[in-house]
Structure 1
Amino acid sequence: MGLPTLGVGIGWRSEIDLTVERLPGVDFVEVLAENVSPDPLPESLRVLRGRGVPVVAHAVSLSLGGAEPVDPRRVAHLAAVAEAVDAPLVSEHVAFTGAGGLDSGHLLPLPRTREALDVLVRNVRAAQQDLPVPLALENIAALLEWPDGELSEGRFLAELVERTDCWLLVDVANLHANATNLGTEPGRFLDELPLERLAYVHVAGGVRHGDLYHDTHAHAVPPEVLEVLGELCSRVSPPGVLLERDDAYPPDAELAAELAAIRAVVSR
């Protein structure tokens, strides 16, 4: 079964709830599941749902790549939020966030080994059993790669999809960050993915400090990220593209302009 066409959207945050409600051209929104309670939902989300705007539930704390089994309470919360907003799908990251009872507070990259893939597949399958809707998984930005990798990132994700039947959330800002910081090739990554399993796309801003690019979600989307989005769109028509902004929120007009720029790339 396929997923719906979502269009162009923006991440819903409580700090900009009224902005999101009044912005033109918002076809869907994404909510961070850990930041909301399903009962009661924030009024703004109820308003958007009342208008028929689709809401995707996005998680950041399942630690699907961790050696320990996934915490069923976290999965249950994501499932409850998804049901409360009538989400067509939920999403998480190909990452782990801690080990041995310690939480890093960050999304950490996985070693791209067969053993790590087996652990990830086990945890993804376990989560899928308790989720009411399909699960899409996202590539992350990293400042390092583990040694002795056996698979490229694209092949790692392709095999994950094959073994779990999950969907893909491609973050083009993270691809740009990794190209800058690690010397990876976004084109090769995209060539290796089963893009027929693309659920939607993330776009976000960042800033460069010296030789490092920081994916801040607090700056305007740079042209280089839009170029990667264009490269993706030359291969597939993405079902949805979402602008992420998590801090230093600009005026409504600036967010509207960023959405328009994204829509222009997708339309091309």
Structure 2
Amino acid sequence: MSSPTTTGVAGVGIGWRPEISGFVESLPGLRFVEVIAESIGSVDLGGLRDRGIAVVPHGVRLSLGGADPVEPGRVARFAAAARLVDAKLASEHIAFVRAGGVEAGHLLPLPRSRDAVRAMVANTRCVQAELDCPLALEPIATLFDWPDDELTEADFITEILDQTGALLLLDIANVYANARNRGEDPAELLDRLPLERVAYVHVAGGAEHDGLYHDTHTDPVPVEVLELLGELCRRHRPPALLLERDGHYPAAAVLRSELDALAAVSAYPAIT
């Protein structure tokens, strides 16, 4: 098992959302949270920061994989959000959310082509030039692959990281979803990824619909994803794990049990 990357975040954390802010702020052993970067200026994180809890801005609107250059205003706001919380790490997605001036409203997968690598690298470098902290990139879950992909998922991710020097935000549920939906072994995909670049790990729930696994963030974390997380920890113990929940929030006791399950699998201290 190799040593983790130094990222400024550690242990088990949770995605901060307004609907569960009271629960999050009550967790005694909490070390870090992730907050949607585009919302940071409108929420009060003072109580968390007073406790020394690290805040990771997580962007969802930059559209780094878009064919058009990333918008300077969006980059400036993203960098300002990171400075506002004195972030030691920020993150965004290997994806696009707009094209030709049309907003998709959600993250879309890139064709795994050399042209897409070049666009992603150029836009990522523009963001890195404005940040005062490292940037981690998250590959998304997808229900389909584009025709005539030139690269495997692992090679596509590795090329982007190698050319930008960015870290990897590894969503273990996305690894499970993508491999399962292709009829592949998730552990084999895990073995091909650059795990030495992992900055932190997302863990989320999902559900099967019509034969495909959907990364919903509204369902419990399935046992298969926890088992894959265990495989990751045996290969390369990540610096930090973060539970994602986005809607259909369960009772506090259920959320605590999901956080405790992450701690148990990774052997990190419980935060509840």
State the TM-score, normalizing by the size of structure 1: 0.94
Which residue is 1:140 aligned to? 140
* Equivalent pair of 2:9/2:31 in contact (CA under 8 Å): no
- Higher mean displacement: 65-74 or 173-182: 173-182
Which residue is 2:162 aligned to? 162
CA distance in 2, matches of 1:65, 1:185: 26
The 1:109/1:184 distance shift into structure 2, 3 A limit, reads farther
Which residue is 2:61 aligned to? 61
- Map Cα deviations across residues 104-161 of structure 1 (whole Å, 9 max, x no partner): 1121111111121111111111111111211000010101101111211111111111
Which residue is 1:247 aligned to? 247
Unaligned residue ranges in structure 2 (runs of 5+): none
* Equivalent pair of 1:7/1:239 in contact (CA under 8 Å): yes
Please, which of 7, 22, 25 is the counterpart of residue 11 of structure 2? 7
Q: Does 1:28 align with 2:32?
A: yes
CA distance in 2, matches of 1:188, 1:114: 23
* Equivalent pair of 2:9/2:54 in contact (CA under 8 Å): no
CA distance in 2, matches of 1:5, 1:110: 28
Aligned length: 264
Which residue is 2:190 aligned to? 190
Two-structure CA RMSD over aligned residues (Å): 1.5
- Return the letter of the residue paired with 1:36: I
Which residue is 1:225 aligned to? 225
- Map Cα deviations across residues 78-116 of structure 1 (whole Å, 9 max, x no partner): 111111111111001100112100011121111111121
CA distance in 2, matches of 1:88, 1:98: 28
CA distance in 1, matches of 2:194, 2:176: 20
CA shift, 1:5, in A, is 4.3
Give secondary structure in 2 for the equivalent of 1:88.
coil
Identity of aligned residues (%): 56
Which residue is 2:105 aligned to? 105
* Equivalent pair of 2:16/2:24 in contact (CA under 8 Å): yes
Give secondary structure in 2 for the equivalent of 1:199.
strand
Which residue is 1:210 aligned to? 210
Unaligned residue ranges in structure 1 (runs of 5+): none
CA shift, 1:2, in A, is 3.6
- Return the letter of the residue paired with 1:182: R
* Equivalent pair of 2:206/2:217 in contact (CA under 8 Å): yes
* Structure 1 residue ranges, 4+ long, deviating more than 6 angstroms after superposition: none
Q: How does 1:73-152 map to 2 (within 5 A)?
A: 73-152=73-152
The 1:65/1:184 distance shift into structure 2, 3 A limit, reads farther
* Equivalent pair of 1:11/1:244 in contact (CA under 8 Å): yes
CA shift, 1:188, in A, is 2.8
CA distance in 2, matches of 1:178, 1:196: 21
User: With CA pairs under 8 Å and 6+ residues apart, which has the higher RCO, 1 or 2?
Assistant: 2
- Return the letter of the residue paired with 1:15: E
